[in-house]
Amino acid sequence: MTETMLWAPIAWLSGNWQQAVLLEAGADGLWSHVTTGVSEPPPQVQRLAGPALPGLVNAHSHAFQRAFAGLAERREGEVDDFWGWREQLYRVAGRLEPPQLQAIAAQLYIELLRVGYTHVCEFHYLQHRRDGSLYQDPLEMSWALALAAAETGMQLTLLPVLYERAGFDQSTLAPEQRRFRAGADQVWAMQSAISSRRPAGVRAGLAIHSLRAAASDSIARLRELAEHFTGPIHIHVAEQAREVEQCIGALGARPIEWLARQGGGLDSRWHLVHATHASPAEIELVASSGAGVVLCPTTEANLGDGIADLPAWLATAVPISIGSDSQVTRAWREELRWLEYGQRLVKQQRNIAAAPALGQPSTAARLFERVLQGGASAAGFARWGFQVGARADLLVVDRTDSSLLGVPDSLLLDALVFSSPGRQLRDVMVAGRWQIKDHEHLHAMQVATRFEHAMVQLWREPPH
């Protein structure tokens, strides 16, 4: 790589639009200089075709679930809920092999790049062969994700998942979960192997599927192994009301409460995925610990999980991030929109997330800034956005999109989040390299062909 010098008419820095911004990226793919008020940029600079935004982290993704996004929307019985949807997940997960996973993930990553995600946290538990036995290389499925990322220009934080039982009252996995099996020592070994091999653009963290899927002793063992580990640790928690009830019955405490009181408790490495049914006391426990929360509003809506207490989370300093999770929606603007719209429907008010008393009257700006920084923490980055030392990720807004025509600069982010859907991002840079230019990805057609072939194989005899 060579050094890159870019000039934006306006760019999003420190929670506001700044005028005439010069951005310089070094050969290492990091921002080396960020200068505002440069009305006369150097002649060799690349003038961006529109306003510049930092890329966002997708903090919770199951890439393989892209294979049935939108295909589990039928109900044959009297009631359908998360637990019925999960049966569909098992049927699809039971068919995938590494080449299919790579094809599906590559398609997903191009879709995510187009909408402005530049880094993905893969909560990865689809580990083994269909019969549950190990691949010759136990990380075969992880490498399929890494190859998809390398092909598309996406960057990853891979999170191998501790997953060992079917529920609080079970000691083993169900047959349809056998591909997910991984104990604490195996998960630690996976993380260590990924970190040692260091594929380009890939880093490693740790994950625990949930309290229902991991025994207390195994969680304690992983805590022990990770005592000096500085990377992120993710866990599904309090996603379903039924899960909270089961946790109280099995462990004598609510999920977040139990996590906060075990071993070393929670700290800034921990990121609690969903936390939909967190109590006010648990929100305070998270806030005092330094841990973060990962909200996935479109998946939570699709699965009928419930609505998180967004105002309570925003009232704390808890790092907040978002994720596409089941891939039923693959756009951060939609996630932010539904974070707010869910609250509006419940409270019958508007602009719930705005905070004029704090000098933050824009709902979109407050949400965007929180998830921008929270996502960095969830992925394991100390720096993010347009600042020296952060990775040189950048989105160019397409002001010719019909939803943005004539919109004043000061209201541009509001319109981006809350106006009609469209192709609002023109170009996308990751680590100093353009991955999307003029709305197009270099490998989009060949990736789409492989994805379609994988889908035909997978759905030749549709799961039902």
Q: Which of 274, 277, 414, 427 is catalytic?
A: 274
Please give the Cα distance from 409 to 82 (Å, whole number): 42
Closest CA to 81 of 303, 320, 366, 276: 303
CB atoms near residue 213 (< 10 Å): 23
Pull the structure tokens for residue 19.
């005028």
CB atoms near residue 252 (< 10 Å): 9
Please give the Cα distance from 106 to 148 (Å, whole number): 5
- Any bridge partners for residue 322, and if so which? 295
CB atoms near residue 16 (< 10 Å): 13
Pull the structure tokens for residue 20.
């005439």
Pull the structure tokens for residue 121.
């946290």
- Output the CA torsion sign for 206, 108, 239, 213: negative
Please give the Cα distance from 207 to 162 (Å, whole number): 6
Q: Which of 305, 309, 325, 414 is catalytic?
A: 325
Pull the structure tokens for residue 164.
């060992």
Pull the structure tokens for residue 285.
């426990």
DSSP label at 345?
Answer: H
Please give the Cα distance from 340 to 334 (Å, whole number): 10
Closest CA to 271 of 420, 386, 378, 357: 378
Closest CA to 115 of 69, 24, 53, 157: 53
Return the C-alpha torsion angle 285, 210, 163, 374, nearest 10: -60
Q: At what angle do helices 444-458 and 98-114 cross, to 10 degrees?
A: 130
Instruction: Give the burial string for 82-118 (b: 16+ CB within 10 Å, else e).
Output: beebeebbeebbbbbbbebbbbbbbbbbbbbbbbbbb
Task: Please indicate whether residue 441 is annotated as part of the active site.
Answer: no
**Residues near 345 by Cβ (< 8 Å), separated by ≥ 6?**
none
CB atoms near residue 54 (< 10 Å): 26
Task: Please indicate whether residue 217 is annotated as part of the active site.
Answer: no
Catalytic residue positions, numbered: 274, 325
